Amino acid sequence: MTDMTDALLGRIDGKRHIYPFIVFYEDTDAGGIVYHAQYLAFAERARTAMLNLLGFTNRDVAERHKVAIAVRHCTVDFRRAARLEDRLHVDSKVIRLGGASLGFEQKIMRDDEELVTIEIFLACMSLETHRAQRLPDELRNVFCGYLNVSED
């Protein structure tokens, strides 16, 4: 599964997911600089694309397992600004897999230049009780294959 690619969803490269995109006008402020909250949106799109590329959709997971994956904790380190029409990519890797949780490190890059690093920890929760619930086995099994704690 190391060469999975889809033009809209990006590609799996080893244990990483690479999601390319272009900065649109709507992503920027009046000066053409990416608005800080947009980086979280870029990261969310990349995680969704990765999930889709691995054969799942958020809707399907919710309907079949009656769970949602919600943000529990997030840190963002802004290093450099992105600008209108920059060609960027989100480099995502799974860094933690717990009973009811999943952690990602996501770097928003311009070529080899790191612009923003996001560490985000997600919790699986029941749609019925709104309490933490174990990740469905099929998701756990797939993400376990992408768990990456030793690579830079």
pLDDT value of position 11 = 96
End-to-end CA distance of the chain, in Å?
21
Cα–Cα distance measured from residue 66 to residue 111, given in angstroms and rounded to the nearest whole number: 39
Domain boundaries, the chain: 8-144
pLDDT tens digits, 94-112: 999 999 999 999 999 999 9
Q: Which residues of the chain have pLDDT under 70?
A: 1-3, 150-152
DSSP element (H, E) containing 126: strand 113-126
**Catalytic choice (29, 60, 77, 137):** 29
For domain 8-144, the CATH architecture is Roll (3.10)
Q: Annotated catalytic, 27?
A: no
* Predicted structure pTM score: 0.92
